[in-house]
A and B are shown apart, each in its own frame.
Chain A
Amino acid sequence: MAQRKAVRWHIPVFLAPAVLVYTAIMIIPLFGTLNLSLFNLDETKTRVFVGLANFATLFGDPRWSQSFWNALANNAWFFVVHMLVQNPIGILLAALLSSPRLRMAAFYRTAIFIPTILSFVIVGFVWKLILSPIWGIAPGLLDMVGLKSLFAPWLGKEEYALTTLALISVWQFVGIPMMLIYAALLSIPDEVIEAAEMDGVTGWSQFWKIKLPLILPSIGIISILTFVGNFNAFDLIYVSQGALAGPNFATDILGTFLYRTFFGFQLQLGDPHMGATIATAMFVIILVGVCFYLFAIQTRLRRYQF
């Protein structure tokens, strides 16, 4: 027993690599960013502490605040499209896949997951090709069903570009909610389903009344993952519309705004301090969203232990 009391060296040994790498590469830089947003350059180009002045510029200076609110509003719409389209489709596909005795379920699962594993470069490029008014797969296909009049250069029009990109992103990532909901549905015990069938609850009413309440926690996790993912999105917009998020900033979201500010683009030099300020604003937005989820929604979800 005396040995039990000795320092258990294996615990720090097991923990050390993860904690060290995580702290050094993730936590310290994250706080470094928050810190950098409190500094700026004075007239002599030396770094000085400016308190919250950068935030005053971001929200007070019309040139900055206009871009910021534009990016935030676009980002919110991007998120809304995902919640309204991606997650319901994911749940529907998962519900169909999990029905017993469905043939070829493994094939469907893999096929539907394939867009998720593609890189943004491929996704952005191929959809630009399909939607291109010149190369014209989309106009050709619409022509085949007699709907050619509906075609518009969706990625080029200010009013459609953001929604089009959001739907492309939905196409790409629908596999993730599908997989997670599918797993949650499979983990519902057979007894629960059998009991429901004994009571004559089958088919869609069984899904609505029995299964859906049981998978609500998973839907919650998916919603928050979607939120975090969407407010960090950057790649799809960057590869398909460029850092300027055209047309006329109609597809500018926080990620592209941060990139442009920090690294600069054709007309503007990079500005690390304002970049850090935007990053801090994003951090606060995400944190508020996550806290709202954790305290307002998750605590109200009922969990069932089987």
Chain B
Amino acid sequence: MNKVLDTIISKLYIAELFNYLNNCIDIVIGAFNTEALSMEFVWNTIAAFFTIAIFSFLIKDNTLYKIAESIVVGIAAGYFTILLLWTSFKPKFWDMIVVEGKWWYVIPGILGLLMYFRFNRKLNWLARYPLALYIGIGSGIAIPLMLQTFVIKQFKATMLPGNLHSWEGVNNTLIVIMVLAGLIYFFFSVPHKGIVGKTATFGIWVIMIGFGASFGYTVMARVSLLIGRIQFLLGNWLKLIE
């Protein structure tokens, strides 16, 4: 009796599986019947193949993953080289000199070429000239602006007037206390004993709360990337969801 039942069930499953495969083939053939849809389907299938190939690493390292990884790295390197050629070398060097006749654009070109002398042991000192110019100009522009953006403005925002009568005031007071406690934890010139020790312990709690918030956001970011791929696989590719 059991054997009979097993046979019926297995046959039913096989029939269902067969139907499902037939439906899938119909979808594929249907997709190829319309030219526009077929191209979309082909590209989405290629993208789906690479998505699955990358995810296969989670099971274990394998050839499929390595192929997908190599293709991504290769395409990215090739794409970036051509992009730089067309967005930097052609408009800023070739067109300026050859098309517009601005010969003085040869000077930055020569400076750029000097960078390659780093590969020559005897003449590598020549590479220092463009680097000196680049670092000099870069630092001159960046240091004052970065100091303002990331240090002075942040100092000001830490030292806002605090009180206990409003939420904003309480928030400002908490910021001052917590920043000081966090800084004391990193102050190693005094032994972490007594009041300093207690403040440093509070400081480590503050830092841990900060790390916790960052970790929570990081988890959310990683899950978002997984969700993005699933939206693509189930939606754009298989059309199972909207």
A, B assembled together: no
Chain A interface residues toward B at CB < 8 A: none
Chain B interface residues toward A at CB < 8 A: none
